[in-house]
Amino acid sequence: MNDHFRFPILSSSPLETHKLGELLGRTIRRPRPTGAVIGLVGDLGAGKTTFAQGLARGLGVQARITSPTFTLINEYTSSTEDVRLFHADSYRLAADGETLAGEIYGLGMDEILDVVEEEPFDDWERSPDPAAIRHVVVIEWADRLGELLPADRIMVHFDSSADGPTPAVTDPTRLACDAASDRLRAENGSSERTLRFCATGPHSRALLSALQTEAAPVQREFSS
């Protein structure tokens, strides 16, 4: 059986990107919270952090979500204390495989991913222990991790190529560039981008199939 499942959704604004993230978060919570690994891939200003903020809201996290550019990993807990969210950013990690693996281990990200993989995904549509805490990991610039990512995962590619190439920036200006890019696109009416969802593995495929069903009326709303 082919465990790959793909579909695109058009977003015309940062608000719509946020809503799509929130919808995925709510999908992960239904009918009971479950674990998940979500990788986000796209240029600077494409909407990765905006999507992660919506995801956190859908998971029930009330805290303010900021980009973990310099902390590399931020941890949050839902208001109901049944979901723990790890928000990671791979932008500043090393490019070569050996050094990258060492940094991943040093940050403890390998342990976090192991926890998610060991959770009882098969119980998603049954009735898992209501007292159990489920773990969700969302990783910006996830393509930099390559084979270090778990096999069962959701990937979201932010295709905003119609907006033109993104200028190269240094780390200290990255967050300002992200915010400026979104403002410029909004002012010019050019915030449109396609979010291409892809699931590998049976658990992520089930989640993404549920998301596609939930997103159908939202997509019609976006298009109207």
pLDDT, tens only, 156-186: 999 975 444 443 333 433 444 444 444 444 4
Pairing of strands 5-11, 193-200: antiparallel
Q: What is the pLDDT of residue 77?
A: 92
Domain count, the chain: 1
H or E stretch including 37? strand 36-42
pTM: 0.79
Both structure tokens of 69: 């550019």
What domain range is 102 assigned to? 5-223
The list of the chain residues with pLDDT below 70 reads: 1-3, 92-108, 110, 118-131, 161-190, 219-224
Cα 65 to Cα 151: distance, rounded to the nearest angstrom: 27
Q: What is the pLDDT of residue 154?
A: 96
> Which residue do the tokens 């995925």 mark?
24
- CATH classification of the domain holding 184: 3.40.50.300
Q: What is the pLDDT of residue 128?
A: 52
Pairing of strands 36-42, 153-159: parallel
pLDDT, tens only, 33-49: 888 999 999 998 899 99
**9 to 41, 124, 194, 197: CA distances (angstroms):** 15, 24, 6, 8
pLDDT, tens only, 134-150: 899 999 988 888 888 88
